Amino acid sequence: MNFAAVLANISNIIIPVVIFYVVAMGLVAKKKVYEDFVKGATDGFHTVIRIMPTLVGLMVAVGILRASGFLDLISMLFRGFTDQMGLPAQLMPLIFIRMFSSSAATGFALDMFREYGTDSYIGTLTSLLLSCTETIFYTMSVYFIAAKVTKTRWTLTGALLATLAGIAASVALAGWIV
């Protein structure tokens, strides 16, 4: 049996094992496992209701930016700078969208795959960018609202720096892979 087959078997059983472990530990601790699960699911549902307006607003904003041609303008503005870094200007809209919406970025990535292919430099870089970056504004707004955080301090600065590091790492890895 090869290594890939072993990993495939492990990945098939890991989630059921974790669920069984959590239930078993709850029973050992004499907790009401099912009632606690239902209470947690109910709390999660209420959280979704609280953050729904933020989610809708973010999705509408991304749709407007994409339809208006603003993202194409960003590509043109940054072309000289991005070419020097080894980052194709076609990916600037992906980087910008990714900060707001993961699903919109995924849709944009599928467009990139269709146009350039998945094994091309742009396709590989697209995959790496989606893996090495985060939906900054979505995550901050949703979780800060849900947790009622009002003092964000340096969160945005740190998140933007982490995104820049993810972009740099993606470009370096794509250059090494392709």
- What global pTM score does this model have? 0.68
Most distant CA atoms of the chain, gap in Å: 64
Tell me the per-residue pLDDT of 108-132, one tens digit each, with 9 for 90 and over: 898 899 999 999 999 999 999 999 9
Which residue has tokens 């919109």? 104
Tell me the per-residue pLDDT of 1-44, one tens digit each, with 9 for 90 and over: 678 788 888 888 999 999 999 999 999 999 999 999 999 999 98
Distance separating alpha carbons of residues 105 and 170, to the nearest angstrom? 16
Residue count of the chain, please give it: 178
What stretches of 29-69 show up as alpha helix (H) in DSSP? 33-68
Distance separating alpha carbons of residues 147 and 127, to the nearest angstrom? 31
Query: What DSSP assignment string belongs to 85-108?
Result: HT--GGGHHHHHHHTT-HHHHHHH
Angle between helices 136-146 and 33-68 (to 10 degrees): 140
pLDDT exceeds 70 at position 133: yes
